A = this chain, B = another copy of it.
Amino acid sequence: MLVVMEAGARPEEIEAVVRHIERLGLKAHPIPGAHRTAIGITGHQGKQDPFVIENFPGVKEVIPVTHAYKLVSREAKPDNTVVSVGGVDVGSNGIVVVGGPCAVESLEQTRSIAEGIKRAGGQLFRGGAYKPRTSPYSFQGLGERGLEILARVREEFDLPVVTEAIDEESLKLVAQYADCIQIGARNMQNFSLLRSAGKAKKPVLLKRGMSATLEELLLSAEYIMSEGNYNVILCERGVRTFADHTRNTLDLSVVPAVKRISHLPILVDPSHGTGKRNKVAPMSRASIAVGADGVLIEVHHKPEEALSDGPQAILPEAFAQIVRECDAIAQVVGRTLQPALSLS
């Protein structure tokens, strides 16, 4: 933390800041400059927020220097974390391609799509039983019945399942039926839900919020890890900007940024990230090229009849093409396609 004093700050004002820092049990390092004095702060920050120093007379700015996250940091754990989702490794050298419908609509629909995913070489299945919808009047998912369908499909096709939990109640059921608990973008800072996910026994896929900074994403992961669940997978799914040619702006640069700071795996969701079917394949390729550990793709066998998010779903054949292209690009960056579980 660095305190920058005003150009005209008086010596007693500087003195008052130094004394306050010391009262907090920290160490103050005044640096007199040509125009103004800055004061470096070192030591372990406790319960009190040193930002309140911004209120002292003569203080121009307080600049944070250290970060609040610990467990997510590569400084804490230099090696990459590999998370096993029902037997499929995420974050290892092999990349994963996750596919499935936005929403589970019926057993037939789910089976049809799962068959396509499996045949195409997808290793994990996604599909929502609980859908957080902007409008209360939109289709909200089949709930537990949807989870049952997902569980049946997993058994039939040996495709571990990722599905979203939206509250305490659904979290318990998802943890029971599925292989990985998804926390959606809208709940990235639902801290109670994060804590509960931290107590669950299944891995967690944490999506970046629509206006979340990297620091906030990592701190949300820290919430989960601080409760004892270290199996966290991050996911970029687009942020909200003024740009209107896609539904969100997929921020691929966050992938190398995460890799630099954290040991956690990160996937990219180009379906929600663009909201446009014709952008899914190119952005999937780009995701693997930039270093993501995999992609999450919405697939529907009849997109024009999908109950939600039809415009971004692609056909199983297009998904198969994406798996092939991701495989080829993985090899350029020294990686491979993670093998799918073999049908037992």
Contact = CB atoms under 8 A, between A and B. Distances in A.
Interface of A: 2, 4, 7-8, 20, 29, 31-36, 38, 40, 42-44, 47-49, 51-56, 61-63, 65-66, 68-70, 75, 132-139, 166-170, 186-187, 189-193, 195, 209-211, 213-216, 219, 222-223, 226, 239-246, 249-257, 260, 273-274, 277-279, 282-283, 285-291, 303-311, 325, 328-329, 332-333
A135 B222 contact: yes
Query: A-B pairs with the 6 shortest C-beta distances?
Result: A52-B310, A211-B211, A33-B42, A167-B192, A289-B289, A186-B189
A300 B120 CA distance: 44
A307 B47 contact: yes
A52 B244 CA distance: 19
Contact of A191 (B166, B168, B329): B166
Contacts of A290: 282-283, 285-286
Contact of A282 (B2, B31, B289): B289
B244 A241 contact: no
B54 A311 contact: yes
Contacts of A304: 20, 52-53, 55-56
Contact of A279 (B210, B257, B279, B309): B257
Contact of A244 (B2, B214, B311): B214
A88 B52 CA distance: 33
A65 B4 contact: yes
B55 A310 contact: yes
A306 B242 CA distance: 27
A49 B169 CA distance: 28
Nearest to A224: B136
